[in-house]
Amino acid sequence: NYGSSKAALNKYSVLLSEQVKPKGVIVALFQPVFIASKQGMENMKNADPVDREVGKLIRIVDTMGMERSGKITNFTTGEYDPF
């Protein structure tokens, strides 16, 4: 089940972030999005182009600080998502 495995991975990542925080390691969690990653998907409803989504990811990672560690970031808005 995707939902339960995703929830377990989220919880593990939060716990991991608490463990490695004293070493200055940031654990990044990102909300998944639908990306047109294969040929022919570019016209699918709600599928975002790969280059645009990679650009968003790079901007978020470049500005990440310890305050974001262990929190899920909404890929589209750059805001935190509760879980």
Count of C-beta atoms within a 10 Å radius of residue 1: 6
The type of residue at 35 is I
User: Does pTM surpass 0.75?
Assistant: no
Distance CA 34, CA 48 (A): 6
pLDDT per residue of the chain (83 residues) written in tens, 0 to 9: 888 998 899 899 999 999 999 999 999 988 877 777 777 776 777 777 778 888 888 888 898 899 989 998 887 777 887 76
Please check whether residue 70 is in contact with residue 17, taking contact to mean a CB–CB distance below 8 angstroms.
Answer: yes
